[in-house]
A and B are shown apart, each in its own frame.
Chain A
Amino acid sequence: MREFKNPQNMGRIDDADGVGTVGNPVCGDMLRLFIKVKDDKIVDIKVETFGCVAAIATSSMTTQMAMGMTIEEAKTITRKMVADALDGLPPHKMHCSNLAAEALQKAIEDYESKTQGEKKAEKRP
């Protein structure tokens, strides 16, 4: 509830290095997550969320967890980690936490595909 009332890192980054959009308006949630990367570290992260209380809270929590992590570390963030950090979510709201984690992974993929030419791609199999 605290994360919902005072969500962190909400908004957009205009010159983001990676952007991940996920969601489905049919079920209710849509997220667009922006990352700024320097020396392989996430130095700035912002998210726009159209969704319920759980979606907003998990957006906020995901961005706080990923901030400052290396790309490799950020790849390990799962929806369970996000939900646990929020002291759990009702079962029918678990997919909400999935969205924020998924948006982060997509933003990382987007970043890596953009930087592919510069260094060897570190794509997951």
Chain B
Amino acid sequence: MAFLDNASSTRVDERVIEAMLPYFRESYGTAGMELGHSRDVAAMKGLENARKVIAESINADPLTIVFTSGQTESNNLAIQGAALANKDHGKHIITSSIEVMSVLQACKALEKDGFELDILDVDENGLVDVGQLKKKIRKDTILVSIQHANGEIGTVQPIEEIARMTSARGVIFHTDATQSYLKIPVDIQAVPINLMTMDAHVIHGPKGIGALFVRKGTRVERIMEGGDEERRLRPGVQNIPGAVGFAEAVKIWGKDESDNLLSLRHYVEQKMSTTLEDYRVTGHPVKRLPNLFSMVVEQIEGESMLVELDMDGYAISTGSACSSKTLQGSHVLKAIGLRPEIAHGSVRVSLSRFNTKEQIDGFVEALVPIVNRLRQFSPLKRGEYFMAKSEAKHEEQESSSDDDQSLG
């Protein structure tokens, strides 16, 4: 079994599990008080050491790290918390069309509560236009939320440039760095980001633990009521084994890990280009996550590919509508302008330290005959993207931006 779906989640490293175990078996106290009994003290030490490790990884002060249950909670706390704390200064929020659901839905929830929302378009590579963003900023803009890297197509946004621009205008900048964290280092002292989301489970840490960096002086209100934990921003007993595991995952992340992932991605790209026909790489050609390769394969549908590959022992993912319970295709692939039937052939390969060149060889060897077989009985022929009349009508209502018909 080759797991090539590491942008969804990763295998927890054995060293992480080992580091966590004492916090289940021995140091299982809470970290509530400065002077508790010995089990509490040990638990608190573990938690605070973990906070230090996470802080150092982005060159921040430990006091600026708030532990959460992960990406979704960090994004909600950042967006809802910042909006509520700053609503007296304005009601305008800006985000992009390719954010994760927790960002988009948090923004939309605020819109229902009277905030005004602008959602920025991206170009065909998935990049936000900083010039356009600048124009959208108004006097009453309080928050901009743009992800660091996209989890479906891997495009990396110019967050340094955005942070400087928003900072100069006194607007809070939040970035969801879940997919890029450690893979693309961020120095919080050098880049004026106000709020940054991180998560452990995509870097070989456990699920259910993440963090939000909150710059000193950035006003955020808590969105859940309870005790005084996590500087009152996130009440509730902390997930201490999780935080310890998160920190261990950060500690063992190798200095050359990103470079290794990138050379393995290059290997995938080279292998694909010599064996597979009629596909197109999605995402920015250069500004892309080192571990993420995504493409759309013409004439076939992603879920069928996924299921066949799974039977052959390869785990990948797809943005095809068929693979989602709501039957909605990927909003990211739609945002970069792909025609729906082309977006259906989407395949994402996301790599980790546990993947090898041999696995990639096996994967590509398995993929080619599957693609050929499914193409044999596809009603879509190369360059033919017909639609029945009733469907064309439906299509007009569903989607307005189908400009990208040129496939290579």
Q: Evaluate whether A11 and B395 lie within 8 angstroms (CB atoms) in the complex, with A27-B321, A28-B321, A53-B307 already known.
A: no
Partner of A52, one of B322, B378, B398: B322
- Give the contacts of B288-330 with A (CB-CB under 8 A): 299-301, 303-304, 307-308, 311, 320-323, 325-327, 329
Excluding A28-B301, A52-B320, 11 further A-B contacts by CB distance (< 8 Å) are: A7-B377, A11-B377, A23-B388, A25-B385, A29-B301, A30-B341, A30-B379, A48-B377, A52-B304, A53-B307, A95-B327
What are 9 residue pairs bridging A and B, where the CB atoms are less than 8 Å apart in the complex? A10-B377, A24-B391, A28-B320, A28-B322, A48-B379, A50-B380, A52-B304, A53-B303, A53-B307
CB-CB under 8 A from B339, the residues of chain A are: 25
CB-CB under 8 A from B378, the residues of chain A are: 48-50
CB-CB under 8 A from A92, the residues of chain B are: 325-327
A48 to chain B, nearest CB (A): 4
Does B387 lie at the interface of the complex (its beta carbon under 8 Å from any beta carbon of A)? yes
Question: B-side interface residues toward A, CB under 8 Å?
Answer: 299-301, 303-304, 307-308, 311, 320-323, 325-327, 329, 339-341, 344, 376-380, 385, 387-388, 391, 394-395, 398-399
CB-CB under 8 A from A52, the residues of chain B are: 301, 303-304, 320, 322-323
CB-CB under 8 A from B385, the residues of chain A are: 25
Partner of B340, one of A4, A5, A25, A47: A25
Partner of A28, one of B308, B311, B344: B344
Q: Are B379 and A50 in contact (CB under 8 A)?
A: yes
In the bound assembly, the distance between CA atoms of A28 and B302 in angstroms comes to: 9
Does A68 lie at the interface of the complex (its beta carbon under 8 Å from any beta carbon of B)? no
Q: Mark A53-76, 1 if CB is under 8 A from B, else 0.
A: 111100000000000000000000
A3 to chain B, nearest CB (A): 12
B328 to chain A, nearest CB (A): 9
CB-CB under 8 A from B399, the residues of chain A are: 26
Q: Enumerate the 6 nearest inter-chain pairs by beta-carbon distance, A residue then B residue, closest first.
A: A52-B322, A25-B341, A10-B377, A48-B379, A28-B322, A52-B303
Who on chain B is nearest to A51 by CB?
B301
Who on chain A is nearest to B392 by CB?
A24
CB-CB under 8 A from A98, the residues of chain B are: none
Q: Are B388 and A22 in contact (CB under 8 A)?
A: yes
In the bound assembly, the distance between CA atoms of A28 and B307 in angstroms comes to: 15
In the bound assembly, the distance between CA atoms of A32 and B377 in angstroms comes to: 10
CB-CB under 8 A from A55, the residues of chain B are: 301, 322
In the bound assembly, the distance between CA atoms of A26 and B329 in angstroms comes to: 8
Q: Mark A2-23, 1 if CB is under 8 A from B, else 0.
A: 0011010011000000000111
Which among A25, A31, A50, A51 has the greatest number of chain B C-beta atoms within 10 A? A25
Q: Are A29 and B322 in contact (CB under 8 A)?
A: yes
Q: Evaluate whether A50 and B307 lie within 8 angstroms (CB atoms) in the complex, with A21-B379, A24-B394, A28-B320 already known.
A: no
CB-CB under 8 A from A50, the residues of chain B are: 299-301, 341, 344, 378-380
In the bound assembly, the distance between CA atoms of A30 and B301 in angstroms comes to: 10
A36 to chain B, nearest CB (A): 17
Q: Evaluate whether A51 and B311 lie within 8 angstroms (CB atoms) in the complex, with A26-B340, A30-B379 already known.
A: no
In the bound assembly, the distance between CA atoms of A21 and B299 in angstroms comes to: 16
Q: Are B321 and A26 in contact (CB under 8 A)?
A: yes
Q: Are A5 and B379 in contact (CB under 8 A)?
A: no
Who on chain B is nearest to A9 by CB?
B377
In the bound assembly, the distance between CA atoms of A52 and B300 in angstroms comes to: 9
In the bound assembly, the distance between CA atoms of A48 and B26 in angstroms comes to: 61
B402 to chain A, nearest CB (A): 10
Q: Mark A82-101, 1 if CB is under 8 A from B, else 0.
A: 00000000001001000000
Q: Are B304 and A51 in contact (CB under 8 A)?
A: yes
Q: Evaluate whether A26 and B303 lie within 8 angstroms (CB atoms) in the complex, with A5-B311, A49-B377, A51-B322 already known.
A: no
Who on chain B is nearest to A53 by CB?
B307
Who on chain B is nearest to A47 by CB?
B377
Who on chain A is nearest to B334 by CB?
A26
Q: Are B303 and A25 in contact (CB under 8 A)?
A: no
Who on chain A is nearest to B318 by CB?
A52
Q: Are A10 and B376 in contact (CB under 8 A)?
A: yes
- Give the contacts of A94-113 with B (CB-CB under 8 A): 95
In the bound assembly, the distance between CA atoms of A10 and B377 in angstroms comes to: 6
CB-CB under 8 A from B340, the residues of chain A are: 25-26
B321 to chain A, nearest CB (A): 4
CB-CB under 8 A from A10, the residues of chain B are: 376-377
